[in-house]
Amino acid sequence: MGLNSSITRYNNLFLNSVLSNLKRAIDLGGFGEEFFTYLSHPMRTVSVSIPVKINGTIKIYEGYRVQHNNALGPFKGGIRFHPEVTLEDDMALATIMTLKNSLNGLPYGGAKGAIRIDPAKVSKEELEAVSRGYARALVQFIGPDIDIPAPDLNTNPQIMAWMVDEYSKMVGRNAPATFTAKPVQLWGNPVREYSTGYGAALWTRNAARRFLKGIEGATVAVQGFGNVGYWLSHFLTEMGAKVVAIGDIGGAIYNPNGFNPDDVKATERKTGTVANYSGSGVRKIGMDELLTLNVDILVPAAVEGVINYSNANAVKAKIIMEAANGPVTADAEEVLYKRGIYVFPDIGVNAGGVVMSYLEWVENLQWFIWDEEETKKKLDYMITNAFNRVYDRWQKMSGATIRDAAYIDALDRIYQAMKWRGWI
Ligand SMILES: NC(=O)C1=CN([C@@H]2O[C@H](COP(=O)(O)OP(=O)(O)OC[C@H]3O[C@@H](n4cnc5c(N)ncnc54)[C@H](O)[C@@H]3O)[C@@H](O)[C@H]2O)C=CC1
Ligand SMILES: O=C(O)CCC(=O)C(=O)O
């Protein structure tokens, strides 16, 4: 199959956008066509049907696990619950994981899982049954040295707890290192709860030091106020930034004086959306307005493809931090690049989660526990190291995006591992 047909063979914008970024970086890095052909096909895709019996009626949920590439080690990546997620979306997310794990120096390949379910519309019992069913269906495909899942959009430590419990029952032993981001009482580490947002805040502070006048006083708009968006807003505010706009699936709010993210979170927890937050100077805005506000920093922290060809010209932020996976499409980035708006890529910005998952996995393999401060220090070191590597590489390149620099750094390590193994 030719290279161009590899990019366009899917009817899925997200996957095509990821493959287009991959192709661009492979060409720029001079790795050769064979490498793209290899990485544009996941090594294994598993589709499962998960039957659950609720009130005497059987319902079947569809689930996936895409194991993209394991040249660097066991597959690793989260599990997404979403009613509209497709196998192709999961392939895009798994490809991003391969690059993210490599960029951050982790001994992992990339994977991602998904179940087509809307967790807001089912009972806790049904959610538990589906989560356990997924772990049972995948039992022979996952394990501490095979594939280690974790949470993603709409999944959390409770879901990891059900899954690790089910998996442990299936294999007849406690198997903590098979899932990460577990509750602290079940071999988790307290840092994982906030690590993705914290890592994204570190990347944002580093970026602001180089591209703005520093993080203090910088204005920020954040789309998505779940695990990533909330903790990112919390830490950025601690660092001195002013979070002036926050949005979630229920709506968005703006306050030129800045929000206290903890207060907004309290309202969201009570009422289900940030849109119900009120106070002096606060006004409701639409999501289109949030994404095109005149702010220093725009942080999409919800879903993919929200900054695309149709709105890229309207974006006014000076820098964009991809806290979500794939929020800026490849064609939008071209427009933004020409307009002098820098995009910091997901594989660095939101890597705090998987870096922390790695640390939890290392603890679990040894039945060892680091305290919170020690873990945070290790996380800081790994995140800062990746930022510096990407920035230094990018400065030496001309006509390249920051994503190109990050991808090439990540690809280099995968390429060498594949060469040593004799795969290419
Ligand atoms: N949780 C983690 O550790 C990691 C998450 N990510 C990525 O970060 C993003 C967010 O994940 P989490 O915060 O974990 O999810 P979450 O489920 O905790 O929160 C998602 C947030 O996005 C909002 N949202 C969902 N769909 C939306 C839409 N169409 N428009 C506007 N807002 C919408 C929700 O209302 C919620 O505020 C995803 O792209 C995920 O893949 C990346 C790395 C790690
Ligand atoms: O913590 C992990 O292993 C997965 C994180 C993840 O899914 C992501 O970085 O997108």
Residues 141 and 224 in one domain: no
**CA 77–ligand 2 middle distance (angstroms):** 4
Cross-strand pairs, 141: none
- Answer whether residue 181 is part of any domain: no
Residue whose pair of structure tokens reads 């190291």 in the numeric block: 385
Residues 102 and 138 in one domain: yes
What is d(CA 36, CA 3) in angstroms, rounded to the nearest whole number? 8
- Answer whether residue 420 is part of any domain: no
Residues 205 and 328 in one domain: yes
Model-level ipTM above the cut of 0.90: yes
List, run by run, the mean pLDDT of 10-residue segments along the chain (424 residues).
Answer: 52 96 98 97 98 95 98 98 98 98 98 98 97 98 98 97 98 98 97 97 98 98 98 98 98 98 98 97 98 98 98 98 98 98 98 98 97 96 98 97 98 98 97
Residues 165 and 197 in one domain: no
Closest-lying ligand to the alpha carbon of 76? Answer: 2
What is d(CA 157, CA 396) in angstroms, rounded to the nearest whole number? 41
Residues 322 and 254 in one domain: yes
Query: Of the residues 318, 349, 380, which one is the last residue of a structural domain?
Result: 349
- Answer whether residue 339 is part of any domain: yes
Residues 319 and 213 in one domain: yes
Burial 360-384 (b: 16+ CB within 10 A, else e): bbebbeeeeebeeeebbebbeebbe
Residues 211 and 313 in one domain: yes
What is d(CA 292, CA 298) in angstroms, rounded to the nearest whole number? 9
- Tokens linked to 401: 């995006």
125 sits in which H/E element: helix 124-137
Whole-number pLDDT of residue 36:
98
Residue 240 belongs to domain spanning: 193-349
Torsion of CA 303, 112, 11, 250, to 10 degrees: -20
**CA 297–ligand 2 middle distance (angstroms):** 23
Residue owning the nearest CA to atom 18 of ligand 1: 226
Sheet holding 109-115, edge to edge: 44-54, 57-69, 109-115, 75-81, 147-151
What is d(CA 220, CA 390) in angstroms, rounded to the nearest whole number? 23
Nearest to 295 by CA among 230, 345, 341: 341
- Answer whether residue 17 is part of any domain: no
Which residues are identified as catalytic? 112
Residues 345 and 197 in one domain: yes
- Answer whether residue 395 is part of any domain: no
- Tokens linked to 347: 């594989």
Query: Which parts are annotated binding residues for NAD(+)?
Result: 196, 227
Residues 155 and 251 in one domain: no
Whole-number pLDDT of residue 8:
59
Query: Of the residues 174, 208, 229, which one is the last residue of a structural domain?
Result: 174
Contact (CB, 8 A) for 193 and 353: no
Nearest to 108 by CA among 284, 347, 338: 347
Number of domains comprising the chain: 2
Nearest to 200 by CA among 222, 183, 173: 222
- Answer whether residue 397 is part of any domain: no
- Answer whether residue 376 is part of any domain: no
Nearest to 349 by CA among 155, 150, 198: 198
Which residue among 76, 196, 269 is best mutated to probe the pocket of ligand 1, counting the most ligand atoms within 8 A of its Cβ?
196
Q: Tell me which long-range contacts 266-272 makes (C-beta under 8 A, separation of at least 24).
A: 268/225, 268/230
Single-letter residue type at 101: N
Cross-strand pairs, 251: 248
Kindly state if the Cβ of 248 falls inside 6 Å of ligand 1. Answer: yes
Whole-number pLDDT of residue 11:
85
pTM summary value = 0.97
Residues 134 and 228 in one domain: no
Contact (CB, 8 A) for 64 and 48: yes
Assign residue 162 the CATH number of its domain: 3.40.50.10860
Whole-number pLDDT of residue 310:
98
What is d(CA 90, CA 301) in angstroms, rounded to the nearest whole number? 18
Q: How many CB atoms lie within 10 A of CB 112?
A: 31
- Answer whether residue 183 is part of any domain: no
Kindly state if the Cβ of 353 falls inside 6 Å of ligand 2. Answer: yes
Whole-number pLDDT of residue 1:
33
Query: Of the residues 315, 349, 383, which one is the last residue of a structural domain?
Result: 349
What is d(CA 64, CA 56) in angstroms, rounded to the nearest whole number? 25
Assign residue 271 the CATH number of its domain: 3.40.50.720
Counting from 1 in the atom list of ligand 1, the atom nearest the Cα of 225 is: 37
Residues 209 and 168 in one domain: no
Whole-number pLDDT of residue 7:
60
Kindly state if the Cβ of 85 falls inside 6 Å of ligand 2. Answer: no
Q: How many CB atoms lie within 10 A of CB 5?
A: 9
Residue owning the nearest CA to atom 7 of ligand 1: 324
Which residue among 82, 85, 97, 102 is best mutated to probe the pocket of ligand 2, counting the most ligand atoms within 8 A of its Cβ?
97
Contact (CB, 8 A) for 17 and 322: no
Kindly state if the Cβ of 78 falls inside 6 Å of ligand 2. Answer: yes
Contact (CB, 8 A) for 264 and 246: yes
**CA 289–ligand 2 middle distance (angstroms):** 29
Residues 227 and 314 in one domain: yes
